Amino acid sequence: MAQFEENYEKLRSQFEQILTDYLASFTVEPQVLSESFRYSLENGGKRIRPVLMLASAQMFGGKVSDVAGLSVALEMIHTYSLIHDDLPAMDNDDFRRGKPSSHKQFGEGQAILAGDALLNQAYQLLFEGCRKGRTYLNAACFIAKNAGADGMVAGQAADLYYQGKEANADIYDFIVRNKTAKMIESAVAAPAFVYDADGNILSLITGFGKNLGILFQLTDDMLDVSGDFEKLGKTVGKDAKENKISAVSVYGTEKSIEMADRACEQCLEMLSQLPYECSFFEDFTRFVRNRDK
């Protein structure tokens, strides 16, 4: 795993430079909006989604620069969702990535506006990328669809609606596929659109992204029970305390472990069918399955 960690850090560092370069020319007023916008975006964590996107571009034989704008847009969308997710009206979490959540730092109103600014700036980046042609337009549409009412927002709405209510496996599956998996799909599959991959490749890479997203959420749910705040950087035990639907509440710990193992196997099976060098994604899949943070 040492080689994987080295490769991951290299990609993460490349994205950080891309983001730094972008923000160097980005100005906004008033100052409080600029500060709240940057506060969460620059407190980056693991940068999982942009790292996956950059790795996917390389897997398809492209360059990191080909998807630089898309990667920043995707991370902005993800960051806005975290800011809103932490709000008292949603998950009500005081910490994110080991620091006070945006609404604790700037107040609820400014946190909402910071999220709005990030989302709209992300779409501006996607629109600008469409000038490069049809394949970038297709990639932008794919990301936008997965982020909205056909994806992440739908999953978040269901997650909020069923909090404290009795839920079944179908509801949990809907939430996970939309709230988590759709944006992981965007990360790994957007480059496939950029490079105009055929239908079979698109099916395999989106299927991999879906199962990777499911695996990520399953492990996240289990870590909410057994994880450590110092490692996770966020409050532990909130799912049970707030009667939120999770893999553990629906299936129990033992079944959740079995499901995570199966999702891991499905990821690796789909990667084995791709005609590319997929070792980074294989290692990443195993990392997610065994992660403790």
- Cα atoms in the 13 Å half-sphere on the side-chain side of 20: 6
Between these two residues, 35 and 239, which has the higher pLDDT value?
35
Degrees (nearest 5) of the Cα angle 231, 83, 192?
A: 85
d(CA 201, CA 224): 34
Residue 18 has pLDDT above 70, yes or no: yes
Label residue 166 by pLDDT band (50, 70, 90). Answer: confident
pLDDT on residue 13? 97
Label residue 23 by pLDDT band (50, 70, 90). Answer: very high
Residue with tokens 């980074």: 280
Adjacent-strand bridge partners of 184: none
pLDDT on residue 242? 65
Answer whether 57's CB lies under 8 Å from 205's CB.
no
Question: Kind and range of the H or E element at 95?
Answer: strand 95-96
pLDDT digits (tens, 9 = 90+) for 50-65: 999 999 999 999 999 9
Fold of 2-288: Farnesyl Diphosphate Synthase (1.10.600)
Residue 45 has pLDDT above 90, yes or no: no
d(CA 102, CA 94): 8
d(CA 143, CA 77): 9
pLDDT digits (tens, 9 = 90+) for 86-98: 999 998 999 998 8
d(CA 171, CA 148): 18
Label residue 243 by pLDDT band (50, 70, 90). Answer: confident
For residue 93, give the 3-state DSSP assignment.
coil
- In eight-state DSSP terms, residue 167 is -
Residue 163 has pLDDT above 80, yes or no: yes
Label residue 234 by pLDDT band (50, 70, 90). Answer: very low
Label residue 238 by pLDDT band (50, 70, 90). Answer: low
Mean pLDDT for the chain? Answer: 93
pLDDT on residue 232? 45
For residue 286, give the 3-state DSSP assignment.
helix
